[in-house]
Amino acid sequence: MTQDEIIEMAQEIAVQYSKAERFQTWTHDYMMQRLMELVAVSAAAERERIKAANAPEIERINAHIKELEDAVLAEREACAKVCDDLDKMRGYSYADKCATAIRARGQA
């Protein structure tokens, strides 16, 4: 929302009151409260407009992130499997601990 749009909203609110009323404190407070409400509604609408305009790009990026996360999990599991195989084939006492530690990194 631009400064000009905020000023325009304030002017629209001000025309609702006579010149004498504009100088009363309660009227000023009400006008400021009303302006803040209009700005908040307008800002929310602008956020939704931006989200809608960028939805395809956001979905594409989220899909790419999911692919990367899946690839990391697959790589982690492959490394843990190597440790499992070493433990089974050669009986290395630390190999099962390595596999457990590798898999645990995906749980954090």
pTM of the predicted protein model:
0.50
Q: Are 89 and 95 in contact (CB under 8 A)?
A: no
pLDDT in tens, 67-107: 999 999 999 999 999 888 887 777 667 788 888 888 898 77
Span 57-76, pLDDT tens digits: 999 999 999 999 999 999 99
Q: What is the pLDDT of residue 54?
A: 95
Q: Give the Cα separation of 95 and 77 in Å (integer).
A: 14
- Contact predicate 6/36, CB 8 Å: no
Nearest-angstrom CA–CA distance, 38 and 45: 11
Q: How far is CA 17 from the centre of its chain?
A: 41
